[in-house]
Amino acid sequence: MSGEGLTPPRIISAPSPNHDGPRPRTIGCVLHSTRGGAPTVEQEFHATLAWFADPRSQVSAHAVIAADGTLAQVVDPDLIAWHCRAKNASYLGVELVQPRLGDPITDAQYQTLAWWLMQMARRYGFPLTVETLPEHWETPEGKADGKTDIQPPFDRMKLLKLCAGA
């Protein structure tokens, strides 16, 4: 787990009220994509942050990563974000801006995601593996809800290579 050479992204704060108290343990991170269908990735980013800021949505994530690599900090990583039901108490949640299924994940998003995951893995002591970084659709909760995020063109092996500094 190296991640050397990853540049810290531009970071903004976009707090959400949709969370619970401290997570008892952290064993990984569920990877999500936004899929709101906005006409542009910029509109998708802002619409996602607005949705997460709305208490009526009852959803959030720890971070949202824009197409340009900007990292929005939404819920403090020590707290439980509302992103994947039963996984919330032991997994972080991160959203990649992707308005529609099949829309590209940018290199800037991969870079920021790798950088953020390296920070979280160091902080909480979990390895960065396929098993600890499930896509939402792969989780039992995601399957039960018919989730499809992230899927191709997302390339988890590309992400893991960035995290390893390959």
Q: How confident is the model over 23-52, as pLDDT tens digits? A: 999 999 999 999 999 999 999 999 999 999
- Residues 6 or more apart from 134 whose CB is under 8 A from it? 28, 30, 31
Give percent of the chain above pLDDT 70.
97
Give percent of the chain above pLDDT 90.
95
Cα–Cα distance, 17 to 158 (Å, whole number): 33
- Is 0.85 surpassed by the pTM of this model? yes
- CA angle at 129 for the pair 18 and 14, rounded to the nearest 5°: 25
Domain residues of the chain, as ranges?
Answer: 11-160
Fold of 11-160: Lysozyme-like (3.40.80)
- State the average pLDDT for the chain: 95
